[in-house]
Amino acid sequence: MQTDQRRFRPAERRRRLALIIAVSLLSVTVLCFLPPIPLGPGYHDFTDRRIFLRIPNYLDVLSNIPFMIVGLWGLLWLLRRSSKPSFVMQQERIPYFVFFAGVALTGVGSSWYHMAPDNNRLPWDLLPMTCSFMSILASIIMERISVKAGLRVLFPLLVLGVASVAYWYLTERQGHGDYRFYLFVQFFPPLLIALIIAIFPARYTGTQYLAVAFIFFVLAKLFEFFDKQIYSFTRMISGHSLKHITAGVACYWILRMLQKRRALPGLGEDGKDQSLLDYQRQTV
């Protein structure tokens, strides 16, 4: 099955690229026609408000430590020579530097926000997260579709992520906050990544680690949704604190994927079957 998936002609590749582009354009179009989505009156009303060592909401604050640990760990690992076998081209490191920097800064920004949750502090929590979401999407584009394409879209994707937070903040200041675009930045990249993985060949081993990371991401969202119910049941920890920990674990599995993966044989640096490269040169 894997061998069949990794071997398709240029026309088939173009069809798959067209599908990715069509899905993206359709999603953006639908998003623009949706009505504004407000933040919600109870957004900052988290369940666990306990104070410990003068730290307000201390578990929601301290549960961000895994983000800081994994983010710094990832950055240090990328700087080590032992990380070289995990990348066919060294440019592929760039989105992962952005990703792990975003993860570490998410830990800092989220801790700051949860000490006194309000609209003014929320952007410091959201901004680094958008950079992490978008950089992972760019990395998958680089590894599955084209290294050049991934590099070209990385900066526009980061700008889009930052703009989604800025748009919410500005509209919130004007009294009609619109959270649509940030929600899109949070949820659309995982869906697009899943589609890319399904229809484009892998250039590295370790896709199963990415699947584990996705499972933990879904768990984190479920914990966030059942914040109050989990705290009522455990009387020790809230769903939101568990969300931070679980999301940090998801980021760890992305680091683990990079540490364990190796390039698959037979594919060119842009993820194409090496046996097709001569054919494509002849048709240019």
Q: 3-class SS at 52?
A: strand
Per-residue pLDDT tens for 140-174? 999 999 999 999 999 999 999 999 999 999 999 99
Residue 237: its pLDDT value, please? 97
Answer yes or no: is pLDDT of 282 > 50.
no
| Contact present, 29 and 211 (Cβ < 8 Å) | no
Q: Which residue has the tokens 């991934």?
A: 150
Mean pLDDT of the chain: 91
Per-residue pLDDT tens for 21-51? 999 999 999 999 999 999 988 899 999 999 9
Residue 122: its pLDDT value, please? 97
Answer yes or no: is pLDDT of 277 > 60.
no
Per-residue pLDDT tens for 101-130? 999 999 999 999 999 999 999 999 999 999
Residue 177: its pLDDT value, please? 93
Q: How far apart are the first and last CA of the chain?
A: 30
Per-residue pLDDT tens for 70-92? 999 999 999 999 999 999 998 99
| Contact present, 57 and 115 (Cβ < 8 Å) | yes
Q: What is the DSSP string of 110-175?
A: HHHHHHS-STTTHHHHHHHHHHHHHHHHHHHHHHHT-HHHHHHHHHHHHHHHHHHHHHHHHHHHTT
Pseudo-torsion of CA 153, 158, 160, 166, nearest 10°? -170
* Contacts of the segment 156-159: beta carbons below 8 A, 24+ positions apart: 158/98, 158/130, 158/131, 158/134
* Contacts of the segment 164-169: beta carbons below 8 A, 24+ positions apart: 164/130, 165/123, 165/126, 165/127, 165/130, 166/123, 168/39, 168/126, 169/119, 169/122, 169/123
Lowest mean pLDDT among 3-12, 53-62, 201-210, 265-274: 265-274
| Contact present, 193 and 145 (Cβ < 8 Å) | no
Per-residue pLDDT tens for 169-208? 999 999 999 999 999 999 999 999 999 999 999 999 999 9
Q: 3-class SS at 1?
A: coil
pTM of the model: 0.90
Residue 8: its pLDDT value, please? 62
Answer yes or no: is pLDDT of 66 > 60.
yes
Domain boundaries, the chain: 2-201
